[in-house]
């Protein structure tokens, strides 16, 4: 597994051209609205400001005229709208800057708005993949990785499984047609892992060792 700084992409979403034998099976981005709704916790934010506005209105309606009571509530409503707008804009930028790529050998994730990087997840380094399917066919596919490589939670956010920090689980967040993409990953990983390993044998009488071919 590796991650490389983004400079020039010969193929969109990949830092370099795929080597011989590697085929791109699928490419896509998060659904920006679903990303905002889920990763930015918009329902909780909206609910929080709605409760504040109702509490404010209820606390002054008995001592102020109705128009003034409503006017005292308006600043909280405006503040809530600004916060929701900023969170939605953040999700939109994150979704537009991300490119997810599934090949017959790996899953690659070009992520990040201000600091862009590419995560390469070979199937041989993925221990498990989990699909969280939502209404409308969108969903998130999270990956448990093997080895000692550790990814920073803030570095990968929001392209990861929420609240799983040790270890961080990178994820294809809020992608359309997630079930079909999960099937592509499962089939490609199965084929890659079961792919026979060729070896070059040392001729009899010569000193040497077998070399496994990737």
Provide the number of structural domains found in the chain: 2
- Asked if residue 206 is part of any domain, the answer here is no
List pLDDT tens digits, range 96-109.
Answer: 999 999 999 999 99
My answer on whether 74 and 112 are in the same domain is no
- Asked if residue 205 is part of any domain, the answer here is no
Q: How confident is the model at residue 209 (pLDDT cuts 50, 70, 90)?
A: very low
Q: Which pLDDT score is estimated for 135?
A: 85
- Asked if residue 116 is part of any domain, the answer here is yes
Find the CATH number of the domain harbouring 23: 2.30.29.30
SS (H, E, C) the chain: CEEEECCCCCECCECCCCCCCCCEEEEECCCHHHHHHHHCCHHHHHHHHHHHHHHHHHHHCCCCCHHHHHHHHHHHHHHHHHHHHHHHHHHHHHHHHCEEEEECCEEEEEECCCCCEEEEEEHHHEEEEEEEECHHHCEEEEEEECCCCCCCHHHHCCCEEEEEECCEEEEEEEECCHHHHHHHHHHHHHHHHCCCCCEECCCCCCCCCCEECC
State the residue range of the domain holding 51.
Answer: 35-94
- Asked if residue 204 is part of any domain, the answer here is no
Q: Which pLDDT score is estimated for 148?
A: 63
- Asked if residue 125 is part of any domain, the answer here is yes
List pLDDT tens digits, range 128-176.
Answer: 999 999 988 999 999 998 876 677 888 889 999 988 877 889 999 999 9
Most confident of the following: 29-33, 69-73, 189-193, 194-198: 29-33
Q: Which pLDDT score is estimated for 210?
A: 36
């Amino acid at each position: 597994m590796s991650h490389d700084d983004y400079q020039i992409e010969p193929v969109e979403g990949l830092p370099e051209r795929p080597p011989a034998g590697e085929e791109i099976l699928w490419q896509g981005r998060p659904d920006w609205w679903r990303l905002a709704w889920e990763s930015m916790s918009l329902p909780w934010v909206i609910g929080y400001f709605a409760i504040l506005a109702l509490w404010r209105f209820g606390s002054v309606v008995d001592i102020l005229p109705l128009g003034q009571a409503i006017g005292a509530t308006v600043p909280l409503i405006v503040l809530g709208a600004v916060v929701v707008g900023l969170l939605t804009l953040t999700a939109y930028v994150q979704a537009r800057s991300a490119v997810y790529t599934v090949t017959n050998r790996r899953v690659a994730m070009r992520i990040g708005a201000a600091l862009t990087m590419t995560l390469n997840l070979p199937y041989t380094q993925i221990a498990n993949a989990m699909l969280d399917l939502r209404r409308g066919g969108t969903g998130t596919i999270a990956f448990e990785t093997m080895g000692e490589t550790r990814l920073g939670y803030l570095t990968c956010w929001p392209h990861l499984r929420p609240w799983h920090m040790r270890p961080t689980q990178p994820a294809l967040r809020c992608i359309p047609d997630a079930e079909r993409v999960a099937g592509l990953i499962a089939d490609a990983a199965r084929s890659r892992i079961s792919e026979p390993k060729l070896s070059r044998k040392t001729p009899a009488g010569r000193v040497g060792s077998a070399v496994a071919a990737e």
